[in-house]
Amino acid sequence: MKSRAAILRRYGAPWSIEEFQLDPPRAGEVLVRMAAAGLCHSDEHIRQGHLAAPSQGAPTAPTIGGHEGSGVVVQVGDGVTDLQPGDHVVTSFVAVCGQCRWCASGMEYICDAGAGTLLPGMPTDGTFRHHDRDGRDLAHVSKIGAFAEHTVVAAASLVKISPDLPLPSAALLACAVPTGYGSAAYRAGVRGGDTVVVIGVGGIGMAAVQGARIRGAARIVAVDPVAFKRESASAFGASHAAASTAEAFALVGELTRGVMADAVVVSPAVITDGDVEDALRLTRKGGTCVLTGMSAQGTRTGLDPQDLVLMNKNLCGTVFGSCNPRTDIPLLAALYDAGRLQLDEMITKRYRLDDINEAYKDLAGGELVRGVIDFGL
């Protein structure tokens, strides 16, 4: 069948909206009609080549962007028994094999199958279902390709959701919300009464603010240079805001009488060396600093080992907020149903697929908490 998608052909170039050819799903695969796709900064990192080798000027194969999405199942391949046409689904950029050591240990977010998320080809057999008009194979970001009207993905990369959940809002459950929520609730282990700092309050950071609120944090400080985001954070649970880490340091010191934050979540658009050092300064003795945002390839940080050792601080990373897609996406959907998790409000603006480059300009300009490609527009 033919469909349309936003395709990356050269690092640094704009997304190209093109018609492409899509093969039917094979064994273990599913054809999905996309309803919505979130505009995650990770796709911008990929477009700019931040996750590629410095000498690489173009992707190994032209690539359909997008990994945060929701849609409706159209067709299933052989062996797929837990999904059927008409089911509403959320994509999971972390494929879940259910059999490796990590899945068996309750850590689906570091599944061995999911570790190859940036490699081209289908996770089922390494071949391609997406092809451009010249017949050339197309990769699809995170084995998803959410910036397409239709896509074929492995059944292991989909989570079934209730048809009552609005699909545009549900798309955020594919990346931004579990990544942010889990960073605070799981990786940082926020508890009732804690003081939490979230550095960078875009989609992921705003979900971290919500995770801290839901877990009972007493004070939540949102740090962002963009006034619109700082002002928006209060609607999601932030009690205080700061324009910089320096400003936050003075504020948190005053709030805690010099103890500093129990948990710090670092989720700016790009993590730099200085961000890590600043975040650790905001972290109390025995506190936890979680690196959630991406950094440019080759970034290195110079840390003070004595600060970590003598102050007993915890510095850790997280992927997908250390959430398990099969259990935590339904959990977050239940929180939304109960009115405790705000999804609709996180969507600042919806865009047509053809306007994706304009949408990313808005994202870079600090105008969005989360933008969404709505395929129904």
Per-residue H/E/C for 15-54: CEEEEEEECCCCCCEEEEEEEEEECCHHHHHHHHCCCCCC
Residues of the chain with CATH 3.40.50.720: 180-319
- In the predicted model, is pLDDT for residue 56 greater than 70? no
Alpha carbon distance 15, 3 (integer Å): 16
> According to the model, what pLDDT value does residue 57 have?
61
Average pLDDT of every residue of the chain: 94
Residue 214 near residue 340, CB atoms below 8 Å: yes
The CA radius of gyration of the chain, in Å to the nearest whole number, is 20
Among 361, 350, 362, 358, CA closest to 167: 350
pTM, entire model: 0.95
Interatomic CA distance for residues 117 and 34, integer angstroms? 19
pLDDT tens-digit profile of 293-348?
877 666 777 788 888 999 999 999 999 999 999 999 999 999 999 999 999 999 99
CA distance 159 to 333: 11
Tokens of residue 49, six digits: 């080549």
**Tokens linked to 221:** 């400080």
As a whole number, mean pLDDT of residues 59-65 equals: 86
Residues of the chain with CATH 3.90.180.10: 2-174+343-374
Write down the pLDDT at residue 303: 82
Q: Where in the chain does DSSP place strands (E)?
A: 2-8, 16-22, 29-38, 63-64, 69-76, 88-91, 130-131, 137-140, 150-154, 158-161, 195-199, 219-223, 240-242, 261-266, 283-291, 314-317, 347-351, 370-374
Residue 242 CA to residue 199 CA, distance in Å, equals 9
Confidence of residue 364 (pLDDT cuts 50, 70, 90): very high
Say yes or no to pLDDT of 142 above 80: yes
Q: Residues 6 or more apart from 274 whose CB is under 8 A from it?
A: none
**Amino acid symbol at 218:** A
- Residue 37: both structure tokens together: 């796709």
Residue 300 token pair: 């290195």
Rounded CA separation 189/215 (Å): 9
CATH number belonging to domain 2-174+343-374: 3.90.180.10
Please compute the mean of the pLDDT values over residues 45-66 and round it to a whole number: 77
The class (CATH top level) of 180-319 is alpha beta
Q: What is the mean pLDDT of residues 135-142?
A: 94
What percentage of the chain has pLDDT greater than the value 70?
97
pLDDT band at 237 (very low <50, low <70, confident <90, very high): very high
pLDDT digits (tens, 9 = 90+) for 168-215: 999 999 999 999 999 999 999 999 999 999 999 999 999 999 999 999
Residue 94: its pLDDT value, please?
A: 84
Residue-wise pLDDT tens digits, 243-291: 999 999 999 999 999 999 999 999 998 888 789 999 999 999 999 999 9
- Residues 108-134: tens digit of each pLDDT: 999 987 777 777 889 899 999 999 999
Q: What integer is the mean pLDDT of 10-29?
A: 96
Select from 271, 277, 194, 188 the least CA-distant residue to 239: 194
Please report the pLDDT score of residue 171 as a whole number: 98
